[in-house]
Chain A
C-alpha cells in the first residue's frame, strides 16, 4: 500500500489541488443544471485536458463524474427536477420529504450516503485493482478480443431501439476508427486522397459534437425552462432514527452500485433503478416508499456514486471501458500516452496512486461543497438555458479549435452534432458508436493477432470461452427485455 500513500503525497501540489477542487465544483454544477449531463461536460473538458498531466486529467474527468452524482440529488429533492438521469429515483422519495419540510435532513442523508458510496467503491478500486490486474496478465489477444466484444455487446444494449441497431452503430464506429493510416502496413484507408484524413478522425471533435452540441440543441428544442423553488433551505442534522434507517440502506446501495458498476454496459443510472427496486422490497418502512422514505434516498444516492467510481475498476485494471463516458476517459489516457490496462498497477502505479488519492479528496470536497451550500446550488439551477446554450456552444467550438487548430475538426464536430440530433429520433445508439470508435483500433489489432495465432487456439483458452458464454447470455437477456418493452408500448 506504499503506492497509495505516495499518491497522497504527490497529490499535494497547487496544480492538482486546484484541478481537484475545480472538477468537483464544475461537476456539482453539471449535476445541478438540467439539460447538461456528465457525458456532455466530459466531452467539453476533453480538449482542455491536453494541458494537464495524465493523473490530473483523470482526476478532472472523475471529479466531473462524481460531482454530477452529488449535485443531482439537490435539485431532485428541492425542485423535483433531477439534474441527472441517475437521480430520477432520488426525486421519487426526496421531493415528498421536501414537501413535508424535511428537505434539509433528506439532503444531508443523500450527500452523506453519496460520499459513503464513493469512498466504498474507491477502497474497492484500490484493493481489488491490484488483484484484478494480476489476473489481467493472463490475458492474451483472444481474451482481450472477446472481452472487448462483450463490452460492445453491452453498449449495444444501452440503446432505445433494438439490439441490432446497437450492433450496426458499433460497426459504424469501427469503420470510423479505421480512417487514416494503418499502423502495421502504412496503407491509407478511407482517406480518398485527402491529407486532412491521414491522421484519422479526431475523437475529441466527434465526441464534442455528438455529446456536447447535440445535447444543447435538444435542450433548445425541449425549451428547457428555468425553475425556481419556493422551498426554503437551512442545514439541519438528521435525527438518530433517520440515521438508523439510512445506514443499512446506504450499505446495500453501495454494494449494488460498486459491483454493478464494474459490469460492462451498466451505467450509474441503470444501477439506481435496480437499487431502488431492491430497496423497495427489502426496506424497513415499506409503506413509506414513494411518499418520502429516507431509505430510498440513501440507497439510490450511495448506488449512483459507487457505480460512477467502480466504472474505473475495469478501465484501469483491464483497459476495457464499460460505458461511453469511460470510453472517453480511455481515449484521454491514450492521448496522454498512458495505456489503460494492467500496467496501471505495475509500471504506472504512481499515476494510479495520485488518481485514487485525487478521487478521495474530490469526494471530500464534494461533501464540503454540497452539504452547507445546498441552497446556493438550488439557486444555480435557476440559470436560464437561453443564456447557457450559446455559452456552451462557444466553449465547444473553442475546445475543438484548441486541440490542433484545424478547421476539419470543426466540420467533423458539426457533422456529428447533426448525427447526434437525428440519432435521438431514429434509435441510433450513440454509446455503441463511441465504444466501436474508441475500441476499434485495438479490436482490429487483437483480431489480426488472433488470425496469425490461429482461431482454433480459442478452444484452449478457458477465460475467453467463459467470456463468450457471458456474451451469449447477455445478448439473449437484452433481446428478451427489449422485446418486452416493445410489446408494452
Chain B
C-alpha cells in the first residue's frame, strides 16, 4: 500500500504531537509561571516572597521545568522508536486483514474528528442563531452523519426542541439568536 506525501507528513506530525506535545506544554507553562511571578513580585514591593501570591506559583513553575527534562528525554526516545517502527512498517507488506483493520481504524478516527469539528461549529453558531435552532441543527447533522435512521432523529430532535422551548418556564435562561428564539 503506497501512501502519498501528505499522509506521511500527517503521521509524522501525529507522532511528534504524541511524544513531544506534553513536554513542550510543560516548558511553556513553567516559563509563563516564572514570568508571572516576577511581574507580580515587582508590583508588590514587599519582602515576603513565599507567603505572597507569587512564591507558591514560582515553586510550581520550577517543579514543572524540572519535570520537563526527564519528560523531554523520554519523549525524544519514544519519537525515535516510533519513527523506526513507522519506517519498518513502510517496507514490510501488510497482509490483507491487517490493512483492513488499519483502514477501519483510520475511518473511525476521522469520524471522531468530524464530530469534534461539528461540536466546534455548534458552539460558534450558538451566538448567531440562538440555542434552540443551533442545537436542533447540530443534532440533525451529527445524528445523520453517525448513521441514525430518519425517524429516530426526528423523534429525538422534536423532544429536545420541546424541552428547550419550555426551559424558560423552569427558570433556565438560554441565549437567543437573531430570530429572537
Contacts and interface: CB of A to CB of B under 8 A. Distances in A.
Contacts of A185: 44, 52-53
B165 interface: no
A100 interface: no
A167 B40 contact: no
B108 A189 contact: no
B135 A410 contact: no
A400 B141 CA distance: 21
A222 B120 contact: no
B125 to A, nearest CB: 11
Interface in A186-201: 187, 189-190
Chain A residues touching B, majority SS: helix
Contacts of B115: 217, 220, 389, 393
A189 B57 contact: yes
Nearest to B172: A402
Interface in B70-89: 70-71, 74
A125 to B, nearest CB: 33
Contact of B60 (A175, A220, A386, A393): A175
B99 interface: no
A394 interface: yes
B138 A394 contact: yes
Contact of A390 (B43, B109, B143): B143
Contacts of B57: 175, 178, 189
Interface string A365-389: 0000000000000000000101101
Contact of A451 (B25, B32, B51, B156): B51
B146 A405 contact: no
Nearest to B147: A386
B160 interface: yes
B60 A426 contact: no
Q: Interface size bucket, A side?
A: 35 or more
Contact of B63 (A51, A167, A443): A167
B68 to A, nearest CB: 8
Given A168-B67, A405-B173, A222 B40 contact: no
B109 A221 contact: yes
Nearest to B52: A185
Given A401-B131, A407-B126, 16 more contacts: A165-B71, A171-B67, A182-B53, A189-B57, A190-B32, A384-B148, A391-B139, A397-B123, A398-B135, A411-B123, A414-B120, A417-B116, A421-B112, A448-B50, A448-B56, A452-B51
Contacts of B108: 220-223
Given A187-B53, A386-B148, A217 B116 contact: yes
Contact of A414 (B17, B26, B119): B119
B51 A394 contact: no
A189 B26 contact: no
The 8 closest A-B pairs by CB, nearest first: A386-B146, A221-B112, A390-B142, A182-B53, A168-B67, A451-B51, A451-B50, A220-B112
B94 to A, nearest CB: 20
Interface string B134-162: 01001100110011100010001000100
A407 B126 CA distance: 9
A425 B18 contact: yes
Contact of A190 (B26, B36, B139): B36
A422 interface: yes
Contact of B43 (A187, A213, A393): A187
